[in-house]
Amino acid sequence: MTKEIDMQEMTLKYGCNPHQKPAGLSMADGSALPFEVLNGNPGYINFLDALNAWQLVRELRMTTGLPAAASFKHVSPAGAAVGLPMDDSLRRACFVDDLPEVQDSPQAIAYARARGADRLCSFGDWIALSDRCDAATARLIAREVSDGVAAPGYDEEALTILKAKRKGSYALLRMDEGYQPPVEERREVFGVTMTQHRNDAVIDESQLCTIPTAKKELPDAAKLDLLVALITLKYTQSNSVCFARDGQAIGVGAGQQSRVHCTRLAGDKADLWHLRQHEAVLSLPFLPGLSRPVRDNAVDLVLSDRAEAALAGEGWRALFSERPRVLTVAEKRAYLDSLTGVSLASDAFFPFDDSILRAAQSGVSFVAQPGGSVRDDEVIAACDRLGMAMAMTGLRLFHH
């Protein structure tokens, strides 16, 4: 049922878990909610994802001037991207090569990229779009498993397509583009109310001007990737590290207590993103009619260290028409070693050079981080040894 745009509060079916009742949302000052529910019945966690994801894509749009999309799960992005054209390998890896209309819609491209960053983690995602949802984007969304969409508007055909999803219960939010939140944020934990100035820091190229490494040059493509990574981190649960390439996040490491564990997690995801575009993976002989989520899991299996054991005997027949060729460890390493030009950003300083050493294994050439560690010199020296250019932004981006 459509809610009125001037609604001041909503009752939700429950909070984070079914036993957490009652639950609801409202505006502290009694003003109207900054969105309209066009379809479905979004829940507590849906709104946490939607409101964070909407901020991310809105900021990407303002900074880059390009349509943006985000794929959110559990209050962190699985992927985020702007609408740069996709080459044939990436279209195939993202399973959108059968939808040529996607290439004609920058908004659809942005979501295809965001969803394709980490397709396993994007299963059941909440989607945010910076621009009006058109029919091409809606058709792409319609065939993926997701919980809902937040966008500033929807074409009529897009609404028709998406309202048919989930037997008519698919959640759709129309966001108020003009809404600006209060400067002061409040949250309550264990009965204690905490306040802070909201994180309204503007992320732009001015944060990329201080480069203490021997390599100083940041090409325009690297600047875009670093901005995408930094804005993604602004709305990612800390500690967090983001790898980016070609206008999209390709690996997000979120919510780890150790900086190097963030880097390892994000780097492993970035490696898988690259390996999914290897011709041996693009040519996997899937059984006809295999669902998209099952294909996603099959790709992950083939690229895992347990692939040979899992496909031993007749196990492969449930997924493939013939036994697939599995890349050896040496083949994967050679492929990854050929990569350069990847960008990496961190939401806080690197306390040691271990993250830089791990980043080098995933083709990182450009880095952005706040700086301020007592071991900054060691981190800079590691970048110099590895030929990386590193910008010190002076801006910490913790998000909790």
Within 13 A of 370's CA, how many CA atoms are on the CB side?
Answer: 17
CA–CA dist 343, 195 (Å, integer): 34
Spot the catalytic one: 39, 46, 52, 73: 73
- For 400, the enclosing helix (H) or strand (E) is none
Task: State the CB neighbour count (10 A cutoff) for residue 285.
Answer: 12
Per the annotation, the verdict on 73 as an active-site residue is yes
Per the annotation, the verdict on 39 as an active-site residue is no
3-state secondary structure 141-156: HHCCCEEEEEECCECH
Tokens representing residue 63 in the block: 């900074």
- Residues 6 or more apart whose CB falls under 8 angstroms from that of 35 comprise 50, 150, 173, 174, 175, 176
Spot the catalytic one: 3, 41, 74, 278: 74
Task: State the CB neighbour count (10 A cutoff) for residue 167.
Answer: 6
Spot the catalytic one: 239, 269, 274, 332: 239
Per the annotation, the verdict on 239 as an active-site residue is yes
Per the annotation, the verdict on 52 as an active-site residue is no
Within 13 A of 23's CA, how many CA atoms are on the CB side?
Answer: 16
Note if the bond before 22 is cis, omega within 30 degrees: yes
Q: Is 339 exposed, middle or buried (0-12, 13-18, 19+ CB in 10 A)?
A: middle
Tokens representing residue 372 in the block: 């301020």
Per DSSP bridges, beta strands 125-129 and 146-151 are: parallel
φ, ψ for residue 257 (rounded to 5)?
A: -80, -20
* Active-site residue list: 73-74, 239, 400
